[in-house]
């Protein structure tokens, strides 16, 4: 009788793990979609405001300038 109960517990544990994995995957997909939408709005707002006052997610604006024979990129 104990083996049957143990088997049933294992089945329910496996079903629970599958459900949790599905919920986790759905959450990750939703997070990726929202992150993509936020990035799109950041690009649009940055274009409309010429990046003035934009946080730019801490990356900082970059400018390229010619020095000597090559192009260097500096943080502004």
pLDDT value of position 38: 96
Question: Rounded to an integer, what is the distance from CA 65 to the centroid of its chain?
Answer: 32
Q: Which residue has the higher pLDDT, 11 or 70?
A: 11
Q: Which of 61, 64, 65 is nearest to 76 (CA)?
A: 61
pLDDT value of position 1: 75
**Positive or negative CA dihedral for 63, 67, 69, 70?**
negative
- Binned at pLDDT 50, 70 and 90, residue 2 comes out as confident
Query: How many residues are present in the chain?
Result: 76
């Amino acid at each position: 009788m104990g083996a049957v109960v143990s088997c049933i517990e294992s089945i329910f544990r496996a079903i629970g793990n599958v459900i949790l994995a599905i919920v986790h995957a759905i959450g990750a997909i939703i997070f990726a979609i929202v992150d993509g939408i936020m990035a799109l709005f950041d690009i649009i707002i940055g274009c409309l405001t010429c990046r003035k006052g934009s946080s730019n997610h801490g990356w900082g604006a970059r400018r390229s300038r010619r020095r000597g024979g090559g192009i260097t990129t500096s943080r502004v």
